[in-house]
């Protein structure tokens, strides 16, 4: 079986597996572990995501935090779909349903970073994924936006969060796949 077929099979499996997991409880356990990480405690600029119903939620981390937060916005550009890092303040930044029915932040006055023309140092990037392996590889939803974005942020500490059930021994990987520095499970 080729990588593409194997990845599609694993995506289907991971989506199904997540339906039987208490994601609210799992998310809280993962958030508690994150709060204890030295790399997280010492970080200033942190990028996360707003979760879909089948993803680990990190929303609690945004509240009362002194960190500068950024959320992804998937945007069409002349060279394809890309992720832009948009500043986010919990309770103040307006959100809208984006292209994939995921909440995204509104850009105000060109306040965003595409990491090509306009850059910011992101200390930590929390990366969504359907499953991860014990070597730090990630299986996303198959669009490639995150791998492109992560490639533009080689110095950022990349953290994947997933339920233990979705942490596998090994994933099929391609040359463009970017590894995580750390995977956190409950």
What is the residue-wise DSSP string for 38-86?
Answer: HHHHT-SEEE--PPPTTS---GGGGTT--SEEEEEEEEEETTEEEEEEE
Of 69, 51, 56, 59, the closest CA to residue 30 belongs to 56
Query: For the chain, where are the alpha helices, taking DSSP H only?
Result: 3-18, 23-36, 38-41, 145-151
- Check whether 51 has a pLDDT greater than 70: yes
DSSP state of 113: B
pLDDT-based confidence at residue 80 (cuts at 50, 70, 90) = confident
CA dihedral 12, 79, 74, 8 (to 10 degrees): 0
Q: How far apart are CA 13 and CA 166, in angstroms?
A: 9
Q: Are 39 and 124 in contact (CB under 8 A)?
A: yes
Of 93, 54, 86, the closest CA to residue 72 belongs to 86
Q: Are 180 and 132 in contact (CB under 8 A)?
A: yes
> Which token pair is 33?
């572990």
Q: Are 127 and 159 in contact (CB under 8 A)?
A: yes
Centroid of chain to Cα 89: 17
Residues 144-186 have pLDDT tens digits of: 889 999 999 999 999 999 999 999 999 999 999 999 999 999 9
Rounded to an integer, the average pLDDT of 52-79 is 91
* Least trusted range by pLDDT, from 24-28, 30-34, 59-63: 59-63
Instruction: Look up the CATH number of the domain holding residue 44.
Output: 3.40.50.10420
| pLDDT on residue 1 | 67
The pTM for the full model equals 0.95
* Domains: count for the chain: 1
Domain that holds residue 11: 3-184
Q: Are 111 and 84 in contact (CB under 8 A)?
A: no
């Amino acid at each position: 079986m080729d990588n593409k077929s194997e990845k599609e099979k694993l995506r289907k499996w991971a989506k199904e597996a997540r339906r039987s997991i208490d994601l609210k409880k799992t998310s809280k356990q993962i958030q508690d572990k994150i709060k204890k990480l030295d790399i997280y405690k010492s970080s200033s600029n942190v990028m996360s995501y707003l979760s879909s119903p089948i993803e680990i939620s990190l929303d609690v981390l945004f509240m009362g935090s002194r960190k500068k937060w950024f959320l992804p916005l998937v945007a069409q550009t002349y060279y394809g779909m890309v992720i832009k890092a948009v500043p986010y303040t919990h309770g103040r930044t307006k959100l809208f349903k984006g292209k994939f029915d995921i909440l995204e932040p509104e850009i105000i006055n060109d306040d965003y970073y595409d990491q090509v023309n306009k850059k910011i140092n992101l200390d930590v990037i929390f990366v969504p994924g359907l499953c991860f392996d014990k070597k730090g590889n990630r299986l996303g939803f198959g669009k490639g936006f995150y791998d492109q974005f992560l490639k533009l942020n080689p110095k950022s500490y990349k953290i994947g969060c997933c339920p233990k059930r979705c942490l596998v021994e090994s994933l099929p990987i391609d040359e463009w796949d970017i590894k995580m520095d750390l995977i956190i499970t409950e």
